[in-house]
Amino acid sequence: MGPVKKSDALDSTLGAIVSHPIRSRCLTILSDRTASPNELAKEIDEEVPNVSYHVKQLLKMGVVELVEERPARGAVEHFYRAIKRPHLSDEEYASLALEDRLQFARLILQFAVADAASAMDTTTFAQRPEHHISRLPIQVDETGWKELREIYANALQRTIEVEAASAERMAENPDAVGIPTRVVTMFFEMPPPTR
Confidence (pLDDT) at 103 = 82
Given 81, 107, 126, the domain boundary residue is 126
- Summarize pLDDT for 56-108 with one digit per residue, the tens: 999 988 889 999 999 888 889 999 998 876 678 888 889 999 988 888 888 88
What would the pLDDT profile of 13-34 be if each residue is shown by its tens digit? 556 666 688 888 898 899 889 9
Give the residue from 65, 98, 126 where a domain finishes: 126
Q: Name which of 130, 107, 110 is nearest 181 in CA terms.
A: 130
Domain that holds residue 51: 6-126
Q: Are 106 and 9 in contact (CB under 8 A)?
A: no
Same domain? 63 vs 32: yes
Confidence at residue 100, expressed as pLDDT on a 0 to 100 scale: 86
- Asked, for residue 49, whether it belongs to a domain, the answer is yes
Residues 110 and 186 reside in one and the same domain:
no
Query: How many Å apart are CA 32 and CA 30, to the nearest integer?
Result: 5
Contact 131, 119 (CB under 8 A): no
- pLDDT value for 13: 57
Answer yes or no: is pLDDT of 9 > 80: no
pLDDT band at 124 (very low <50, low <70, confident <90, very high): very high
Q: What pLDDT, on the 0 to 100 scale, is given for residue 152?
A: 93
20 CB neighbour count, 10 Å cutoff: 16
Q: What three-state secondary structure class fits 2?
A: coil
**119 & 142 share domain:** no
Bridge partners of 75, per DSSP, are 72
Region of residue 139 (left: phi > 0; alpha: psi -120 to 50; beta: else): beta
Are 18 and 85 within one domain? Answer: yes
Maximum CA extent, the chain: 64
Pair 17, 73 in one domain: yes
Same domain, 104 and 60: yes
23 & 99 share domain: yes
Are 96 and 22 members of one domain?
yes
132 pLDDT band (50/70/90 cuts)? Answer: very high
Asked if residues 43 and 28 have their Cβ atoms less than 8 Å apart, the reply is no
> What mean pLDDT value characterizes the chain?
86
